[in-house]
Chain A
Amino acid sequence: MPPLELLLQQALNGVMLGVMYALIAVGFTLFFGVLDVIHFSHGDIFMLGAFAGLSALLGLKAAGVAGAALALPLAFAAAMLVTGLVGVAAERVCVKPLARSSPLMTLLATLSLGLVLRESVLIFYPRGADPKPFPQLLPQGGVEVGGVAIRYENLAILAIGFAAMIAVDRIINRTRMGAAIRAVAQDPEAAQMMGVNLDRTVDATFFLGSALAAVAGILSGLYYSEIHFIMGITGGVIGFSAAAIGGLGNVYGAIVGGLLFGVLQTTAAALIPRGSEFRDVVAFAVVMLFLVFKPSGILGEKSVERV
């Protein structure tokens, strides 16, 4: 049994990863809520967010904007705008036209769209096949509390991640658009009869979810100091897994699921010999078990189909 400090350390790292996963998972769950679809290219929109953020940072650096305090918020804003628009475009082209046909169709269309996004970055981004170094803009250094090393950088990532989650919570629960999103998730037809503009609400949902993916993308770049065009595949699968564990359609479930997945990964890495290679195997295995025994997720509603 490894010492307690190691476990605590791993739990902390797990929460850090979990925050990023949760931000991706919230997108999956929001989209599922309004349109009942799984938007599989979401992982690649996460990747696109990282690349948009990197480009913005490089552009700002070239323009002479020094200092993380100014450059980073601007980069976040730019990346969120880019992915938000791409997300809405993806929804209009690939998701909504197929939403009424079988789930297989949307699944395939969005999987293929993800492939297109991935390959576009590979081909059209300068030297897109190589991993790109991501500038380290967060404060370095750290403190040690009871044998657990806490780096300022990680604290900043946690803070940004949780700020984004609180913002989502506010948008969904306190704004008119949020009320519209909730209404459409409950019953699209009834929402329309109450004067909710369905198309605009769906657009807004996809903008919001995709913008969150950009936040996750930049955070991931800051955390690993590196981004790569294939990061969206694992990012997407993990995000979807997290949303499924939490219960598709439930925003808080997605957050819990994301954190759980992150902690699972890091504890697996700590507890199992050669665990860092097998951590995803363990995490996915747990996801499979979850779906067997609790298919509606932690916070999902149990659905009963009536004929």
Chain B
Amino acid sequence: MALVLVWAAELAVFALVVAGILAERPLPLAATGLAIVAAAVGLRLRPGLRRALVAAFVAHRRAALAGGALLALALPLALRASPYWTFVAALALLYVTIGQGLNLQIGTAGVLNLAGAAFAGLGGYSVGLLTVTAGWPAWLAVLAAPWVAVIVGTLLFVPILKTRGHYLALVTIAFVFIFNILMNNFEFTGGPQGIKNIPTLRLFGWPFTAKPSLLGVELPAHANFYYAALVMASLTTLVLRRLHDSWLGLTLNTLRDDEIAARCCGVSITRGKLLAFCIGNFFIGLGGALYAVMVGFVSPPDFDFGYSLVMLSVIIIGGVDSIPGVVLGACLLLPLPERFRFLHEYRLLLYGLVIVVMLLYRPQGLWPAAIRRYR
């Protein structure tokens, strides 16, 4: 019974999301909006239902995850009419990967990193240089590129990691600016034009520009990247979930909460922060690398300070240090502005306002981090 409830709830969310994305004419649009509002109000007014749902999800965790995975796999089928939305969905999944990396740094370890865009850019530019200039195959470049972000991050930040919040913020902001100026002015990175014609991914002879078909239905070419990003985001989330629950995650939490107390308990601050910083940068760089092969070109404006803020917002909206929160934040924050295209001009303004309001009234995020449970 509870199992049916879980799957029914997941299916309902899936249907609402797809309808919300695809409804164009006024009548379906109004119906979808009403349904979403009704569902929200219903959950608010019927605490019994809410508790039953939570209990069902807790009791059937594996079934819920399996159902969610199945629906995530099926999403391109539902969106097959719109290559654009398939692309947006893939982008949201890239931000899940990036957000998880950043969340490990900021949320778990308290290492403030406002240079997310620059580290994603290091990944993206490395892919561009390795494939276009050095002639590597794309998949090898995507696997190698994150290490560039890790190495550059380590070299630059080892001396500075010891400094506290404000200064680390300043240095990382300055790093984004330096990265942008350098990319704009170096010859070998193509200057303001960036690097064009990055070859697409090719796995076992299957080019990612070809249209795949699933269950006999032809999908847009971007579905390839959707599935690649889905695999990447799931693996990242799984790895970081395990890491967060391990002794290392706990150590990093103590660092974040009280450095002095942590030191007194024998935690090495530099080592912990450096570890979190490197692991985080790896995933941020990985997201940037896949972005480069997905879009096919990289240029400086793709990685400017504004994107650092978008990455941060993903964490804040979802919930700082909350792994499911990051997934929720990315899946809300990336598609929503695309849906409301008529608000496009006001997009960044609204981002800013939403973050301020969130910080003032719900600083723990939409899906707050759960208290650690030890069994």
Contact = CB atoms under 8 A, between A and B. Distances in A.
Interface of A: 32, 38, 93-94, 97-98, 101, 103-105, 107-109, 111-116, 119-120, 123, 233-234, 237, 240-241, 244, 248, 274, 277-278, 280-281, 284-285, 287-288, 291-292, 295, 305, 307
B185 interface: yes
Interface in B130-185: 156, 159-160, 163, 165-167, 169-171, 173-175, 177-178, 181-182, 184-185
Interface string B97-129: 000000000100010101000000000000000
Contact of B112 (A98, A107, A116): A107
Contacts of A278: 181-182, 185
A241 B171 CA distance: 9
Contacts of A119: 346, 348-349, 352
Range for the number of chain B residues in contact with chain A: 35 or more
B160 A280 contact: no
Query: 9 closest Cβ contacts across the A-B interface?
Result: A115-B352, A119-B349, A116-B352, A112-B355, A284-B174, A292-B159, A112-B352, A103-B165, A277-B185
A116 B177 contact: no
Interface of B: 106, 110, 112, 114, 156, 159-160, 163, 165-167, 169-171, 173-175, 177-178, 181-182, 184-185, 260, 264, 305-306, 309, 312-313, 316, 320, 345-346, 348-349, 351-353, 355-356, 359-360, 363
A240 B173 CA distance: 11
A227 to B, nearest CB: 20
A113 B351 CA distance: 10
Given A278-B185, A280-B181, A291-B171, A94 B356 contact: yes
Contacts of A104: 106, 110, 112, 165, 320
> How would you classify the secondary structure of chain A's contact residues: helix, strand, loop or mixed?
helix
A114 B312 CA distance: 15
A121 to B, nearest CB: 10
B178 A280 contact: yes
A116 B349 contact: yes
A46 to B, nearest CB: 16
8 contacts: A93-B356, A109-B355, A109-B359, A111-B309, A116-B353, A119-B349, A237-B177, A288-B171
Contacts of B165: 103-104, 107
Nearest to B157: A288
Given A115-B351, A307-B260, A107 B169 contact: yes
A93 B357 CA distance: 10
Nearest to B312: A108
Given A281-B182, A288-B174, A103 B166 contact: yes
B42 to A, nearest CB: 32
A108 B355 contact: yes
Given A105-B359, A292-B159, 12 more contacts: A101-B363, A103-B166, A104-B112, A107-B112, A109-B355, A111-B312, A115-B351, A123-B346, A237-B177, A241-B174, A277-B181, A307-B260
